[in-house]
A and B are shown apart, each in its own frame.
Chain A
């Protein structure tokens, strides 16, 4: 559980480039560990899938996993880099469209690569403009960009306008295989995020978040770090979008709509954007709730709005902060160690 509340030291000094950071020998052990844990989680999810049903697991689990990846990619920006992007649907949707358009012509892996490539490229273009601004302006520039892309897609007949496109995966890709693909991509993506924020590159991102002036004065190019992490998050959102296209079999302009940018942010907040697993908890919770009330309905608006407001006011650090909050309350009640309460809260 990586809690990035404290400021890490600026790693190694500015003389090394961010590319060199990633390749440094001291990071290899970490890389091996991360990959090991990821493989273990994938194996576990597989056992779970085999145990729950002989047939491939339901569509609902696929959507939850995809939302987890999408929320994690958004948390890279709002939690780790403090780049409050309100337009990640632009990259999610671009990935979905690219996947739907390319899956007919090229193999599955090429199609995934194309989706990530296009989203990343688009993130680079937007980033070159948006990273020059910050805070509220940044949120609005990304929001407007996403909305513009939505209008473009909704008005372009080539991509089906409002009705969208079918994303028919070739018949040799079985549902079981698709499930494996989703599990590997989602767990792999999360592992990649975990690993990145353990490397000096990721720690520099966090250092810039906590004190941009100090990072600049140490010779770090804030712009370059922010731009690269923005592109990384965009490409991951594109990956989530591509998986979404394969899973649902259809891509509509709605995948670009701005409420799709808002949802992962709500998930991060709900779970706790300061914790690594916060977005995971948030994505599972919110997706389950949305499943019950239905997308775009009156219930959707009132539930999502109500939950978000209550969480913001009463539990601003998210669900994962409940154990700490309970511990704090118990400490206030009776001074001295309170092992009992701690154990129930952490369970």
Chain B
């Protein structure tokens, strides 16, 4: 069996995980705050894509445009959550703030059930992207190629934001030394709101792009967030590039294992996580100093 198609589709899955986990990780770096509700942002992105796209004759351009719109809508939701809920949680001890976001996740999942109902919904693949590219003996799924392209653009854009803008400088400074950054007069609540906007946008975009590959069910929110957390931890809390490497690594590992042993899908993912953490408890690119808060 040729593993190349598995690697490509694994990279595609990895990009989806990266879109949630990168936002989570950047927010953690700036705010020392891990957000369960991010999974609901992802799911709502998927459902919004369904509403925007299910009546249309889908082309790749339309899909990406719809995904961007869904991302913007979810960014607005994330911003509202920041103002109403998260701001009150930053002061709490880490476990309590984590539970607070868990509460928001449950509430948003309830809202999804009310708005979209319990039955699975699906978004079709764009007509021109529903098959595979033929490379002689190897066939590559086209949609994965689109996902990898989007992932590359996001990496470039986020690198620009993190290293060329004042917001990026503030975020990196907060991750490096929180107290000193505050003493230098950085307005934390403005940084956190902006970071939350970006993270929400990426999660919504990811959800919308994932919509054709999965069935949309209300428990999507919870099933994806655990994997995203695993990515954040394996990559190293607060590390953007760690999240990228971990997402691709775990996505590809899972995809290759499924190709050989189909019914251990999720198990392989977590087994790989434990293997990494056994060797590096602080994650691939993590600093152990971030943990103490």
Residues of A within 8 A of B (CB): 78, 84, 129, 132-137, 139-141, 143-145, 147-148, 151-152, 155, 258-259, 262, 265-266, 269, 298-302, 304-306, 308-309, 312-313, 316
Contacts and interface: CB of A to CB of B under 8 A. Distances in A.
B160 interface: no
B2 interface: no
Nearest to A128: B278
Interface residues of B, number: 46
A312 B96 contact: yes
A302 B110 contact: yes
A313 B278 CA distance: 36
Interface in B226-273: 226, 229-230, 232-233, 237, 263-267, 270-271, 273
A262 B102 contact: yes
Contacts of B264: 155
Given A78-B95, A136-B94, 6 more contacts: A136-B34, A136-B291, A140-B34, A266-B99, A304-B106, A306-B103
Interface in B90-125: 92, 94-96, 98-100, 102-107, 109-110, 113-114
Given A309-B103, A309-B104, A269 B96 contact: yes
A136 B266 contact: no
B196 to A, nearest CB: 17
A148 B271 contact: yes
B270 A140 contact: no
Given A145-B270, A305-B104, A258 B226 contact: yes
B80 to A, nearest CB: 15
Q: Kindly name the residue among B95, B110, B114 whose own CB sees the greatest number of chain A CB atoms within 10 A.
A: B95
Contacts of A143: 226, 229
Interface string B68-92: 0000000000000000010011001
Interface of B: 28, 34, 85, 88-89, 92, 94-96, 98-100, 102-107, 109-110, 113-114, 222, 226, 229-230, 232-233, 237, 263-267, 270-271, 273-274, 277-278, 281-283, 291-293
B interface SS class: helix
Nearest to A311: B103
B250 to A, nearest CB: 11
Contacts of A136: 28, 34, 94, 98, 233, 237, 291
B112 to A, nearest CB: 9
A301 B109 contact: yes
11 contacts: A136-B237, A137-B277, A139-B95, A148-B267, A148-B270, A298-B113, A298-B114, A302-B106, A302-B107, A305-B105, A312-B92
